[in-house]
Amino acid sequence: MTVAPMTGPKVAIAYFSGSGAITRTARLIAEAARGEGAAADLVDVTQMTPETWDIIHAADAIAFGTPTYMGGPAAGFKAFMDDTGDTIWLDRMWADKLAAGFTAGVNTGGDKLSTLQALSVFAMQHGMVWIGQEVIGAPVFRENEGLNLSGTFLGLAVNANTSGLTEGCEASARIFGQRIARAALRWQV
Ligand SMILES: Cc1cc2nc3c(=O)[nH]c(=O)nc-3n(C[C@H](O)[C@H](O)[C@H](O)COP(=O)(O)O)c2cc1C
């Protein structure tokens, strides 16, 4: 009997970014996922084509990323969510894929949890399996200063201002990318 060689899991990162913070976060997640042996593709949801839809449909895990605008997903991302409400939803095309969510806001709290809740409900609508945040930051673990700054466990919530992401938020994004890839690797078995 010939056993097909195991290939790494496919991770698609479907994101919208207005001013670059989510693009940066998406890139960090992708790099970290690749470092764990996954194939990771970035998909800007405002530029969807048949090819980019296929990348998402073929993924084992999909990470959804949007800035928090007015306490929820940005309209650019919501349009993508709504575009999946017909065939993709009805035909259960994403059922049993892994899902994760990430968001950025200018404030540490910033109602970012509300965005992650919207993303997780979106994933549940599609019958997906949600991956949350694992890292406990400071002050519980002092050595984790800057990681998971807002103490958000539903997904990755980063703080962004005009000078970009903090070092801790960048590190959190990398850890989140590793977590998604490792989960996808386990999910493949
Ligand atoms: C219309 C608008 C609404 C926003 N609402 C929030 C908000 O509710 N909470 C927050 O923390 N930041 C808010 N922000 C700030 C953005 O979330 C923040 O700048 C984020 O980093 C943008 O991500 P991006 O650079 O990928 O577009 C808002 C920004 C805009 C333009």
Ligand 1 pocket test, candidate residues 68, 107, 161, most atoms within 8 A of CB: 68
Q: Give the residue carrying structure tokens 């965005």.
A: 115
pLDDT, one tens digit per residue, over 28-83 is 999 999 999 999 999 999 999 999 999 999 999 999 999 999 999 999 999 999 99
109 Cβ closer than 6 Å to some ligand 1 atom: no
pLDDT band, very low/low/confident/very high, at 106 (cuts 50, 70, 90): very high
Domain boundaries, the chain: 10-188
How far apart, in whole angstroms, are the C-alpha atoms of residue 82 and residue 31?
Answer: 28
Q: Which atom of ligand 1 is nearest to the CA of 18?
A: 27
Closest Cα to atom 9, ligand 1: which residue?
110
pLDDT, one tens digit per residue, over 142-168 is 999 999 999 999 999 999 988 899 999
In sequence order, the 6+-apart residues with CB closer than 8 A to the CB of 82 are none
107 Cβ closer than 6 Å to some ligand 1 atom: yes
Please give the distance, rounded to the nearest whole angstrom, from the Cα atom of residue 170 to the centre of ligand 1. 17
pLDDT band, very low/low/confident/very high, at 6 (cuts 50, 70, 90): low
The CA-atom distances, in angstroms, between 78 and each of 14, 57, 82 are 12, 18, 6
Residue 2 has pLDDT above 70, yes or no: no
**What pLDDT does residue 3 have?**
55
Q: Between 3.60.21.10, 3.90.700.10, 3.40.50.360, 3.40.50.2000, what CATH number should domain 10-188 receive?
A: 3.40.50.360
Residue 117 amino acid letter: Q
**What pLDDT does residue 150 have?**
93
**What pLDDT does residue 140 have?**
96
Q: Give the residue carrying structure tokens 């290939």.
A: 7
165 Cβ closer than 6 Å to some ligand 1 atom: no
176 Cβ closer than 6 Å to some ligand 1 atom: no
44 Cβ closer than 6 Å to some ligand 1 atom: no
Residue 162's nearest CA partner among 66, 25, 20, 17 is 20
42 Cβ closer than 6 Å to some ligand 1 atom: no
